[in-house]
Chains A and B, each alone.
Chain A
Amino acid sequence: MEIPYTVHNRPDTGIYNAKVGIWLFLASEVMLFGGLFSAYILLRVGAEPGMWPHGWLNVTLGTINTLLLALSAITTLLAWAACKVRDFTKFKIFHACTILLALTFLGIKSYEYHDKLIHYEIKLNNGTFADGHLVEKSADFDLAKKTGTVTLHGRIVEDEKELMDLRAPAAQSAKLDEVTIAAADIKKMGNYGPAHNTFTAIYFTLTGLHALHILGGTLVIFYLWGPGSRMWKTDPERFTNRIEVSGLFWHFVDLVWIFLFPVLYLT
């Protein structure tokens, strides 16, 4: 059975069916991310004064990722345009660039996640807080048995609020050193993973869901670039439409990042 309107436009809608389908899907995606942005707003305005983090994320890496996604959106559009002018070689080149840019984005995101997962905040028995990146744990380190030591590259502060605004002059001028802490002195210890506070929870949720979209989009684009490109020989019009539909999804993923970057990294 032949699927209708995969190449030619439906007379009543004026567009082919897959395009209607992808726009309906993107509309549902707007509401999915909208719900999470809504959660972000509620968490942020509901935070205790001085307890919403600023400057926790690496703006340089966020900026690089923004430009990588913008470039990948452009190469996606050019890949489609190359198909329209029947230049298959250029299509291959542009979409190879898209895949490489997407993988670089994911690599940088993984590095950022790793940086958060090795960053620890330790509440000490004397009421102060040690904060920094994990250097090493002694072989006998056991928090439950209170044995061994842990070494961080960071600092010790009196009040947890001092750790919230890393753009504040005091935080900017703070000297970081190696701090070794005995397990017996630790009241509570945790990394900057999703369970750390509401900021890291919404940060990992939003960026994690976005990264899954990047991964899914990359797999589809890779399929169309590799094995799926065989359709070019048999039905180039339909293949071009597939590239357009996958491109619309990719542009949407770029659109989401356009808001994620300022909301999480810059404000």
Chain B
Amino acid sequence: MSESEKPVSLQSYIRLCAVVFLVVLCTTSAMIATSFSHLGDGWTLKVAIILAIAVVNAFLVAGYLMHLLSEKKLIYTVLAFTVFFFIGLMGLTVWATNGFPPGTATH
């Protein structure tokens, strides 16, 4: 049964939303703290940590607010295709980062 068919209690949603907001508050604070911390010389480690925290935030919104944790198979199928093509897009991007065409300037 999808979330839209379940009996809904407003009070339980208010409690869920309060928890989600608190976690978002904590994760946002953690991202900011990481950004201003001194973790090595470069930005690579900081970017990795910050993006990992952002993924946690995204999971909360998609999983609980968008009800993705209890959806129908068709929605998961659509999202599986999306994830496949998104990973392909990012994979090609990362693959291309060192592929400068011959004759072009590189740094």
Q: Give residues in A with beta carbon < 8 Å to B.
A: 9, 13-16, 19-20, 23-24, 27, 30-31, 34-35, 37-38, 41-42, 45-49, 54, 59, 63, 66-67, 70-71, 73-74, 76-78, 81-82, 84-85, 87, 90, 167, 241, 244, 248, 251-252, 254-255, 258-259, 261-263, 266-267
A35 to B85, CA, bound (A): 11
In this assembly, does B58 line the interface, its C-beta being within 8 Å of a C-beta of chain A? yes
B4:A262 contact, CB within 8 angstroms: no
A266:B13 contact, CB within 8 angstroms: no
Q: Can you spell out 5 A-B residue pairs with CB atoms less than 8 angstroms apart?
A: A15-B4, A34-B89, A38-B92, A84-B8, A255-B58
Q: A46-B107, A74-B17 are in contact. List 19 more A-B contacts (CB 8 A).
A: A14-B73, A14-B74, A15-B2, A15-B4, A19-B4, A20-B74, A23-B79, A27-B78, A27-B79, A27-B82, A30-B86, A31-B86, A41-B90, A63-B32, A66-B24, A73-B61, A73-B65, A241-B4, A251-B66
B107:A49 contact, CB within 8 angstroms: yes
Query: Do most interface residues of chain A lie in helix, strand or loop, or is the interface mixed?
Result: helix
Q: Inside 8 A of A266's CB, which chain B residues have their CB?
A: 31-32, 34-35, 50
**Interface bits B62-74 vs A (CB < 8 Å: 1, else 0):** 1001100000111
A76 to B93, CA, bound (A): 35
Given A9-B5, A267-B43, A267-B46, the answer on whether A262 and B78 have CB atoms closer than 8 Å is no
Question: Which of A15, A19, A85, A263 touches B10 (beta carbons < 8 Å)?
Answer: A85
Q: Give residues in B with beta carbon < 8 Å to A.
A: 2, 4-5, 8-10, 13-14, 17, 20-21, 24-25, 28, 31-32, 34-36, 43, 46-47, 50-51, 53-54, 57-58, 61-62, 65-66, 72-75, 78-79, 81-82, 85-86, 89-90, 92-94, 96-97, 107
Question: Which of B5, B10, B66 touches A81 (beta carbons < 8 Å)?
Answer: B10
A81:B81 contact, CB within 8 angstroms: no
B31:A262 contact, CB within 8 angstroms: yes
How many CB-defined contacts (below 8 Å) exist between A and B?
A: 135
A259:B21 contact, CB within 8 angstroms: no
Chain B, residue nearest A260 (CB):
B54
A35 to B93, CA, bound (A): 9
Given A15-B75, A24-B78, A87-B10, the answer on whether A77 and B4 have CB atoms closer than 8 Å is no
Chain A, residue nearest B98 (CB):
A45
A74:B75 contact, CB within 8 angstroms: no
- Closest Cβ of chain A to B103, distance in Å, is 16
B74:A74 contact, CB within 8 angstroms: no
Question: Which of A34, A87, A263 touches B86 (beta carbons < 8 Å)?
Answer: A34
* Most chain A beta-carbon contacts within 10 A, residue among B10, B21, B58: B10
Chain A, residue nearest B24 (CB):
A70
Q: Inside 8 A of A14's CB, which chain B residues have their CB?
A: 2, 72-74
Chain A, residue nearest B83 (CB):
A30
